Structure 1
Amino acid sequence: MDGVAAVERALAIAQALEVARQPLSLTELAHHTGLYKSTILRLLVSLERGGLVVRRSDQSYTLGPFAVRLGRAYDACMPLEASLQPLMEQLVRDGMESPSFHVVHDAHSRICMLRVDSMHSTLDRVRVGDLLPLHAGAPGKVLRQAAPDPQVADISPLLQVSFGERDPSCAAVAGPVFGPGQELLGALSFSGPLDRFNLSTVHVMGPVLLAACQKATSLLGGVWPHG
C-alpha cells in the first residue's frame, strides 16, 4: 500500500515545525517541505482545525496544543522516561559513558528519545529529539537487527559497536531493549569520544550495557531472549 499523499504532506509540515523548534513563515515552510505555498495553505486549514498547528498574529505557524496531547498519550502508552531515565542516571553514577535510548523514526533514520550525559569532561553531541541515520552507528545496527558484530560476538551476539561510523570523532556500543512478545522497542547505547573507546573498554562496558538492556526490557514488560 502506498498510503495517502495528502496525509504525508500534512505530516511533512508538522515535522518541519517540530525540527525548527520555532515558528515558521509560509515561505519557510515551503522551503523546508518542498511543497507549493498554495498546497501548504490548504493543508494548514485542516491542521489548524485539528489543533496540531496554530497560526500566530504575525502570520507565522507553530505546533499547537494537540501536539502536547499526542506526546502525553505516547508517554502513557510507552512510559520510556519513567522506566528508563532512573536506570540511565544510575549508569552515569556508576561511571559509564553517556547512555542514550533510540527508536526507529522512519526507513532511513532513528530518533534519540532519552539521553543522560556522562560525568566526563568531553562528550559526544547527541540530544533528545535528534534524528540520526539508521544505516550508521551501533544503535542503528541494533534497530536494523544487523548481523552480530564479530568484534564483540564473544561477549554477546546482541551487542553492536561502531568506531567513527556516524561521526569520525565518536564511538558507541549498543544493545536491544525488548517489549512484550520480544518485540524490539529500541536500542540502549553508551557513546562518547572515539579516544575513550577500543575493544578493551567495550569488553568492560558490554556486560554492564547488556545487564541494563535486560533490566530495561523487564521494566517495559518485555521478555529477554535466552540462549
Structure 2
Amino acid sequence: MPRRAAFPSIADEHAAPGGAAAVDRAVTLLSLFAGGSGPYTLSALAEQTKLYKSTVLRLLASLEHSGLVLRQADGRYALGPMIARLYASYAASFSLESVVMPVLRQLVERTTESAAFHVRQGEHRLCLYRVDSTQPVRDHIKVGDLMPLTQGAGGRVLMAFAGTPGAMYERIRRDHLAVLCGDRVPELAGVSSPVFDAAGMLVGAVTLTMPKERLSPSHGPHVVRSAADLTAKLGGRFPRTVTE
C-alpha cells in the first residue's frame, strides 16, 4: 500500500469536494508550470507539491503518456505538446480567432508578407494563428508549430514583456517592437509587436516574417498598428502612441 504522508500535500489541502485524489495531484503538478519557471527536476516537483517522489514519478508517467508533460534529455520535466493543442482549443472557444484573423489578413494585405500570432508555451512559442503571404518565397511555419522562445522576433517580444533582462529586451520594451534579421533562420527577417488584454497583461505577439532582402522600414509601423488594433479589440490599451 502507498505510504501515508506525514503532512498533507498541496493537492490534499485544495482537494475538490467529491473529486479524485490522483486527478487533484496531477492538476497540482501541471499548475506549477503556469508560472513559466520550469523545466523542473523530479526533486523540485516533489518538494513544491509536498508529495513523495514515488508518487510524483507515477503521476508524471501518466502525464507524459498523454502528452501533457515531456521528459527532456537532461531528465527535467516540461510541458508537453498536448498543452499546445488544448490551448488552441481554449482560444478558439473564446472566439479569439474571429478577432485575430481579420487583423492578420489586413496586415498581409498591407505588406504582402506572412503574418502570425504567437503565444508563449513554456520555453517555446506557439504559432496560434497565421496568414501566409501569396509570394512564392516565404517561410513555411504552420499553425500549431512550436519554436524556440529565444529565437525570432516573436519569441523575443514574448521574453521582453515577461521581464527578461538585457539591452535587446530593454529596447523592445521601450519601442514595443522587435525587428531582427537572421535571428531564427539566417535567410529570414521578422518584425513583431506585443498584444495586451483589458487587464494590461501580455496576450501574445503579432509577427510579420519575410526573406531578409524584403525587410522594409515600413513594416515596423504596420506591425505596431496591427498589435495596437488587436489590443483595442481585446479591450486593452496599447502603451505606445500609434501614428500613421
Q: Cα gap change, 1:206/1:14 in structure 2, threshold over 3 Å: closer, same or farther?
A: same
Q: Cα gap change, 1:169/1:80 in structure 2, threshold over 3 Å: closer, same or farther?
A: same
Alignment match, 1:204: 218
Are 2:229 and 1:192 equivalent residues in the alignment?
Answer: no
**Contact 1:189–1:209 (Cα < 8 Å) also in 2:** yes
Q: Cα gap change, 1:223/1:195 in structure 2, threshold over 3 Å: closer, same or farther?
A: same
Q: Cα gap change, 1:141/1:118 in structure 2, threshold over 3 Å: closer, same or farther?
A: same
Counterpart CA distance in 2 for 1:179 and 1:143 is: 14
Q: CA deviation at 1:92?
A: 1.8
Q: Cα gap change, 1:95/1:33 in structure 2, threshold over 3 Å: closer, same or farther?
A: same
**Contact 1:95–1:119 (Cα < 8 Å) also in 2:** no
Instruction: Say which SS state the counterpart of residue 174 (structure 1) adopts.
Output: strand
Q: Cα gap change, 1:74/1:9 in structure 2, threshold over 3 Å: closer, same or farther?
A: farther
Q: Cα gap change, 1:12/1:162 in structure 2, threshold over 3 Å: closer, same or farther?
A: farther
Equivalent residue runs for 1:12-27 within 5 Å: 12-15=64-67
Structure 2 unaligned blocks of 5 or more:
1-31, 33-43, 50-55, 74-81, 161-168
Counterpart CA distance in 1 for 2:116 and 2:233 is: 16
Counterpart CA distance in 2 for 1:71 and 1:103 is: 10
- Counterpart among 85, 92, 110 of residue 75 in structure 1: 92
**Contact 1:138–1:173 (Cα < 8 Å) also in 2:** yes
Are 2:112 and 1:96 equivalent residues in the alignment?
Answer: yes
**Percent of matched pairs sharing the same residue:** 31
Alignment match, 2:170: 147
TM-score, normalisation: structure 2: 0.62
Counterpart CA distance in 2 for 1:167 and 1:68 is: 25
Counterpart CA distance in 2 for 1:69 and 1:125 is: 23
**Contact 1:13–1:33 (Cα < 8 Å) also in 2:** no
Q: Cα gap change, 1:168/1:180 in structure 2, threshold over 3 Å: closer, same or farther?
A: same
**Contact 2:176–2:240 (Cα < 8 Å) also in 1:** no
Q: Cα gap change, 1:96/1:73 in structure 2, threshold over 3 Å: closer, same or farther?
A: same
Q: Cα gap change, 1:169/1:90 in structure 2, threshold over 3 Å: closer, same or farther?
A: same
TM-score, normalisation: structure 1: 0.66
Q: Deviation string for 1:110-153 (max 9, x for gaps)?
A: 1110111012121112111111111111111100012215xxx9
RMSD of Structure 2 on Structure 1 (CA) = 3.0
- The one-letter code matched in structure 2 to 1:142 is V
- The one-letter code matched in structure 1 to 2:141 is V
Residues matched between the structures, number: 172
Q: CA deviation at 1:209?
A: 0.8
Alignment match, 1:136: 151
Q: CA deviation at 1:76?
A: 2.5
- The one-letter code matched in structure 2 to 1:76 is S
